[in-house]
Structure 1
């Protein structure tokens, strides 16, 4: 990789679109990104049999836990963070500053570091009706996070009728490109 390669932290929660993460990584790499993959612990369990292959694909260890004190950081610094799919729990935890999850903690810290950040929720319509979800989306937007939710991003489906193959990954990657040119 050349010194002009930019680093994308791709974070994902346990929602069905996470099963397409290898294709997303390949698309981002084709656009010139050095991709580091971080997963919620549950997402890591869901795709456990693919973790070694994903590490080989990215050239970096896949992370789902905080490193121990004194351990070196194994990833280069992020130029942009994409948190997708982001579940109800991840969005609310992030907005409230509850950083018990590695990916939520890094995303929360990224706000303070001024790292351009994009997120796209993946929640069903019942979760989307919970008042805290709307408050959390507003809070993240007010802190400068690009939240792709609504007509130009993710639109919730009724519970049990998800369409993981229709998850708008292209919109997420296009937004990453857009925020990276502003940085």
Structure 2
């Protein structure tokens, strides 16, 4: 079971590409979106693609527990979510899942989607290093993923390397 965690960004609308790649690799996929990401994705299409409703909130105490993930891909990962993940902040369902995963031994792959102005900031670089030190795979840097600097991000969305996140789980 692979959880694909989606943040609100221009690339979020293309997360179905990641689901397709993961399914081709044999994964059963559960999409979980931050509350803000719901406006960026087609939840109905993702539900049809995965056979599972997109989740964005904690379950009610009387609801059945969802299956535990065997791995997690956080993509597209925003500046805000990466920094909160590194700090252990769990103020959304997505961040709650991320906060526990390293401690449970669940592999986590982070594929950032940030612009160059944010990627050069010290808080972001510190967060990337801190997550790597905890065993989280962060696909950031030469040969992995590099930030974009286009104003609208259209080129960055088209070139976003979804396949690298799936490959990192192999």
Both structures adopt the same fold (TM-score exceeding 0.5): yes
2:57 to 46, 62, 65: 65
Identify the residue that residue 149 of structure 2 maps to in structure 1. Answer: 158
SS for the counterpart of 2:62 is coil
Query: Given that residues 17 and 162 in structure 2 are in contact (C-alpha distance below 8 angstroms), is that contact kept between their aligned partners in structure 1?
Result: no
Q: Which runs of 5+ in 2 are unaligned?
A: none
Identify the residue that residue 51 of structure 1 maps to in structure 2. Answer: 43
Q: What is the TM-score of this pair, normalised by structure 2? A: 0.93
Identify the residue that residue 93 of structure 1 maps to in structure 2. Answer: 84
Q: Which runs of 5+ in 1 are unaligned?
A: 1-6, 178-183
| Range with greater deviation from structure 2 (93-102 or 22-31) | 22-31
Distance 1:57 1:173 in 2: 17
What does 1:1-183 align with in structure 2 at a 5 Å threshold?
7-47=1-41, 50-73=42-65, 75-158=66-149, 160=151, 162=153, 163-177=156-170
Number of residue pairs aligned between Structure 1 and Structure 2: 168
Q: What is the TM-score of this pair, normalised by structure 1? A: 0.87
Query: Given that residues 13 and 85 in structure 1 are in contact (C-alpha distance below 8 angstroms), is that contact kept between their aligned partners in structure 2?
Result: yes
How far off its partner does 1:69 sit?
2.7
